Amino acid sequence: MKQMKDSIIPPITTPIVDGEISQRHLKSNIEKWNKTRLGGYLVLGSTGEAPLLSYEEKIRVIAAAREATPPGKVLVAGTGEESTRKTIELTRKAAELGAEVALVGNPHYFKAQLTMDCLYDHYVALADASPIPVIPYNSPGFTGINMTPDLIGRLSRHPNVVGVKDGTGNVVQLAGFRRLGGPDFLIFSGNAPSFLAALFVGISGGMMPITNLYPDLWVDLLEHYRTGALEDARRLEARLLPMTATVMKYGVGGMKVGLDILGFYGGSPLMPLKAPQPEAVEEIRTAMEKVAA
Amino acid sequence: MKQMKDSIIPPITTPIVDGEISQRHLKSNIEKWNKTRLGGYLVLGSTGEAPLLSYEEKIRVIAAAREATPPGKVLVAGTGEESTRKTIELTRKAAELGAEVALVGNPHYFKAQLTMDCLYDHYVALADASPIPVIPYNSPGFTGINMTPDLIGRLSRHPNVVGVKDGTGNVVQLAGFRRLGGPDFLIFSGNAPSFLAALFVGISGGMMPITNLYPDLWVDLLEHYRTGALEDARRLEARLLPMTATVMKYGVGGMKVGLDILGFYGGSPLMPLKAPQPEAVEEIRTAMEKVAA
Amino acid sequence: MKQMKDSIIPPITTPIVDGEISQRHLKSNIEKWNKTRLGGYLVLGSTGEAPLLSYEEKIRVIAAAREATPPGKVLVAGTGEESTRKTIELTRKAAELGAEVALVGNPHYFKAQLTMDCLYDHYVALADASPIPVIPYNSPGFTGINMTPDLIGRLSRHPNVVGVKDGTGNVVQLAGFRRLGGPDFLIFSGNAPSFLAALFVGISGGMMPITNLYPDLWVDLLEHYRTGALEDARRLEARLLPMTATVMKYGVGGMKVGLDILGFYGGSPLMPLKAPQPEAVEEIRTAMEKVAA
Amino acid sequence: MKQMKDSIIPPITTPIVDGEISQRHLKSNIEKWNKTRLGGYLVLGSTGEAPLLSYEEKIRVIAAAREATPPGKVLVAGTGEESTRKTIELTRKAAELGAEVALVGNPHYFKAQLTMDCLYDHYVALADASPIPVIPYNSPGFTGINMTPDLIGRLSRHPNVVGVKDGTGNVVQLAGFRRLGGPDFLIFSGNAPSFLAALFVGISGGMMPITNLYPDLWVDLLEHYRTGALEDARRLEARLLPMTATVMKYGVGGMKVGLDILGFYGGSPLMPLKAPQPEAVEEIRTAMEKVAA
């Protein structure tokens, strides 16, 4: 998975038309993104509304993304389920459909019982069974469980666990992942406001929801940092973060509004999520105009 | 749903044999419970490991429970999913299979976006579509979201929302549900240590996991309270609670150990949950012997 | 301290005039309360703004309260400080000034280091040194630390620790205090919405801030419960709780507004606390009128 | 306060001998530190056990520190109290005794009432009244309240509020303080594990408890960063952080053990804090030997 290093891979949204997944719109969105310098696509993340989709719908999303994703870009699929068995089953299916990497959110419903040892066994069982590399996804804001650097360090020794995605924005934790995971372990952040500081402590790249919008600017930000153009990086960050705060306030629905504004297909999220109200749409549009300016 | 008033309805475990749901063991467990004074059964609750089961497995659980549950006992099925659409689909299927009431846990993954209004719309859409009465399940320990008395009060005005289950053990909140839901609204507690005090503030009955074990003693506790035999109620509570604390410490796995000890089929929970270690099994056995003595 | 059983002892406010403690107004308030059936007074609680007062000011409050409190009512003084030594010093001074019981909030600033064992040693050192009986005050909402039933049970074995005040409203915890503290241990609740349910699980009486207002109605509530007049108790509770919620929303400032309305001296709290805005004053007045009606 | 920029200013411990503050040991510790490149000293911080000291003891600490602190080093005194009036009083006294800057922790006991506006008014009243510059100290781990970047930005416009100390280690928040406080606003971190990353997002210097130990190595770390010697900075950080984690685990007591090991006067903290057990002392010694090696 060398090609994932130094890349931005957005967790892309899942287009819904009349309450149903639209493979057609998903493919046309990806085709637009293919013209950018994104490193690939993550389907079925939180931003892809994966928890709201059935097994069959998930399969259709992966299949459509596979068709539209060209060889130069990596296709990552979110395959985490609450049970180990269902996670293995979906991961194998995703691999069969052409996903190259599995991004795997933690089981968390039974959080009082799920010790770090339970999670370790879960991920090892999965990594043993998976035909494709596995990347655990640590997102305590969604799950209520934090994967410790110690756990990630232990998991990094499994040859099929190639990295971690972290949504906390906690740079001390990210530095711990780097120290315990070693120099080649892939570390992706899902938190945009801390992304530049996270690069400073050694992460590999970004999987932030907001990179659905203006993806090449985020690639620029990463490249500025890598080439030592720090002032350019900070200026660009200052331009991107206010818009990021505005869009993220409205969750998946806000992201979809942003896509509509940029000429992609956004649409509405599935219930119980709601589409932003008209004033929110205007707020998002205004914030985006400031980036484009 | 008058018959549910003043009843104990345990969220029963789902027997697993060789990694697969065993309809046979589920039916034989229910047949044993049929000889007790339980008011019915709740399948596919948290204790039933519902989040770890596929749609097909859930259907098999309901079908088996339907076969074994006699007319005098009510069959409740857990049908909450993250999306409104999937919740409606499973609820309709459960009704078709003979479930008489749907107990519906909150969507919670996107908790930052899920306002009380989102939950209201979710439950109203469900109650409109469901052929059977709906009971929302408030369990912030699992979901990270608390349903306020105000929300429950609003939902209680829908003719197909007949009650609420609450797992918090917060008697002030339970009193609020009673005040805002009215005298006929069904209020079940899922929290055993506060059960007796919850009866004092006006709940209708119990859906506590621990009532898988010694169910008639819990029915006795409820009846002692209802008949004004407070001293008997307190003595019985004092006998049951230490055992409850010990078993609950080990979650679903602990409950299954307890069932094995009592001659029911317990077995192991599904991964990533773990069966308790041998010392824990002994601790549970010792705590249970004190109840039986 | 037998006389404290079955009593309501309000944590009274500290009158401030032109930025200074007014002993005169404190005494005149107490003289008004002397005509009620209150069991005594707690000065220098949170409601008394103790954390905002200097050592000298605290002494003046106790001295004034001592003058105004007649023999039939117990005078309790809040004496908890962050250090054990300062707590002992203030407790001894309070005793010298005529306080009969010390109510002692936990040290909590260094909460990461303050294990249950640290608190145990703190309270034992205090109880050994104090000339008057000691009552620990458990208020995690203020302190961020919860005193477990196990800790309270251990402390109850010290002859000079005669009870506990608890602010959580958690009836399971209160029941644990009773079980581990024994039948004669004094247990006071500081949480009004759960007060009636707390009586059901065995507490001794009330030290709720709201009992500054309409104290005899709270005494009635307690007596209704003790005499088995449950329906009267519930009706009275239903009359008192909406007003309670409104006043408590505005903290000490709200309580002082309520006192002004009833003809006591309320006044403003000390900075950084603020007096409620005019609309809040009207809201409080309206809620109080419904109680009086 | 230009001289505070780019400096390390440790919150120093308060030596206790036989239960009393020892001005002599405080001065001899400071005299040892005077030979280092520390920028100054912060007395009466949390590490100085300020919440455990009386007003008179605080005065003695400031006086002794003033005597021992030479002109080239800045003397900062912690002066935060729960009431605005007491905070102003102590700040004026500290200034009179020669403290050059006041570091002011938030009032927090009444946290439910203390809105950002209350804190704003508190700090403005203080800054208006204080003869010396004021630096608010944001430490939600101690106080349970987080001062938002918006609040700090507003306060930065007061000419007598010259900076902020932040204990969170949250780099996004620190970046927000820089953005809203402007380029000359002083921003100190109290969190060692994130210190290097905090420099990257623009802070001015460090006020970390751990800099009581090996202060010149922390000055080196800061200088490496400022001179662009990033590899040296990272290597040094990797050497310092494991020791930091070990010492901080034991709080003030751990810091005092470390001082004893280095030939300073450490001693024990005041009750209810405890001195570390012998095994902890050995653990600290071992961790420190690895830094020295």
* Alpha carbon C6 to its chain's center: 15
Q: What string of H, E and C letters represents the secondary structure of B2-29? A: HHHCCCECCECCCCEECCEECHHHHHHH
pLDDT tens for A147-183 read: 999 999 999 999 999 999 999 999 999 999 999 999 9
- The residue among B13, B55, B83 with the most chain A CBs within 10 A of its CB, best to mutate, is B83
Res A1 pLDDT > 70: no
Select the residue of A179, A193, A201 nearest D172 (Cβ to Cβ): A193
Q: Is residue A2 scored above 70 in pLDDT?
A: no
Dihedral over Cα of A278, A280, A281, A283: its sign: positive
- The verdict on whether omega for the bond into residue D272 sits within 30 degrees of 0, i.e. cis, is yes
Map out the domains of chain D with their CATH numbers. Answer: 2-238 (3.20.20.70)
Burial of A38 (0-12, 13-18, 19+ CB in 10 A): buried
Dist CA D208 CA D192 (whole Å): 6
* Averaged pLDDT, C59-65: 98
Encoding tokens for residue A237? 């960050």
CB-CB contact of A53 with A61 (8 Å): yes
For D267: left if phi > 0, alpha if psi spans -120 to 50, otherwise beta; the answer is left
Residue-averaged pLDDT of chain D: 97
Contact A194 D172 (CB under 8 A): yes
How confident is the model over C99-154, as pLDDT tens digits?
999 999 999 999 999 999 999 999 999 999 999 999 999 999 999 999 999 999 99
Binding-site residues on chain A for chain D (CB distance < 8 A): 169-172, 175, 179, 193-194, 197, 200-201, 238
CB-based contact B193 C172, cutoff 8 Å: yes
For residue B112, the number of C-alpha atoms closer than 13 Å in the C-beta half-sphere is: 14
Q: Quick check: D1 pLDDT over 90?
A: no
Query: Distance from C223 to chain D by nearest Cα, in Å?
Result: 32
| C135: closest CA of chain B, how far (Å) | 25
Is residue D256 a contact partner of residue D248, using CB atoms and an 8 Å limit? no
Contact between B84 and A272 using a beta-carbon 8 Å cutoff: yes
Task: Measure B60 CA to nearest chain A CA, in Å.
Answer: 17
Least CB-CB distance to A172: which of D169, D179, D238?
D169
pLDDT at A3 (0 to 100): 79
Sorting pLDDT into bands at 50, 70 and 90, what band is C3?
Answer: confident
- What is the pLDDT tens value at each position of chain B, 293 positions in all? 657 999 999 999 999 999 999 999 999 999 999 999 999 999 999 999 999 999 999 999 999 999 999 999 999 999 999 999 999 999 999 999 999 999 999 999 999 999 999 999 999 999 999 999 999 999 999 999 999 999 999 999 999 999 999 999 999 999 999 999 999 999 999 999 999 999 999 999 999 999 999 999 999 999 999 999 999 999 999 999 999 999 999 999 999 999 999 999 999 999 999 999 999 999 999 999 999 87
Contact: chain B with chain A (3+ CB pairs below 8 Å): yes
Flag if C119 and D272 touch (Cβ within 8 Å): yes
B254 contacts: CB under 8 Å, gap ≥ 6: B246, B247, B248, B276, B280, B284
Q: Write down the number of H helices and E strands in chain B.
A: 12, 9
Q: Across the beta sheet with B134-138, what order do the strands follow? A: B40-43, B74-78, B101-105, B134-138, B163-166, B186-189, B205-206
Query: Within a 10 A sphere around the Cβ of B293, how many other Cβ atoms?
Result: 6
For residue range C252-264, what is the model confidence (pLDDT) as tens digits?
999 999 999 999 9
User: H or E element: which one contains D42?
Assistant: strand D40-43
Q: Do D19 and C85 touch (CB under 8 A)?
A: yes
Probe site for chain B from A13, A16, A47, A52 (most B CB atoms < 10 A): A52
Nearest to B118 among A19, A111, A274 (CB): A274
Q: How far apart are CA B272 and CA A107, in angstroms?
A: 8
> Are D61 and D26 within 8 A, CB to CB?
yes
User: Which residue in chain C is spatially nearest to D20 when comparing CA positions?
Assistant: C85
Residues of C in contact with D113 (CB under 8 A): 250-253, 273-274
Distance CA C136, CA C164 (A): 5
- Please tell me the predicted confidence (pLDDT) of residue D2: 59
Q: What angle do CA A54, A155, A84 make, to 5 degrees?
A: 30
Q: Please tell me the predicted confidence (pLDDT) of residue B292.
A: 81
Contact status, residue C187 vs residue C178, Cβ threshold 8 Å: yes
Q: What is the pLDDT of residues D45-68, one digit of tens each?
A: 999 999 999 999 999 999 999 999
| Of A169, A179, A200, Cβ closest to residue D172 | A169
> Count of B–C CB contacts within 8 Å?
30
Distance CA C86, CA C107 (A): 11
The whole-number pLDDT of residue C232 equals: 98
The residues, ordered by sequence, that sit 6+ positions from A293 with a Cβ below 8 Å of its Cβ are none
DSSP helix/strand/coil, D173? helix
The pLDDT tens digits for D78-132 are 999 999 999 999 999 999 999 999 999 999 999 999 999 999 999 999 999 999 9
- Give the pLDDT confidence of B126-160 residue by residue, as tens digits: 999 999 999 999 999 999 999 999 999 999 999 99
Q: What is the pLDDT at residue C224?
A: 98
| Bigger pLDDT: C2 vs C244 | C244
| Residue C189 in tokens | 């609740």
Residue A293 has pLDDT above 80, yes or no: no
Partner chains of C (3+ C-beta pairs under 8 Å): B, D
- Neighbouring chains to D with at least 3 Cβ pairs closer than 8 Å: A, C
CB pairs under 8 A between A and D: 31
Which residues in chain A touch residue B271, judged by CB atoms under 8 angstroms apart? Answer: 83-85, 121-122, 125
Where does the pLDDT of residue D292 fall: very low under 50, low under 70, confident under 90, or very high at 90 and above? Answer: confident
pTM score: 0.96
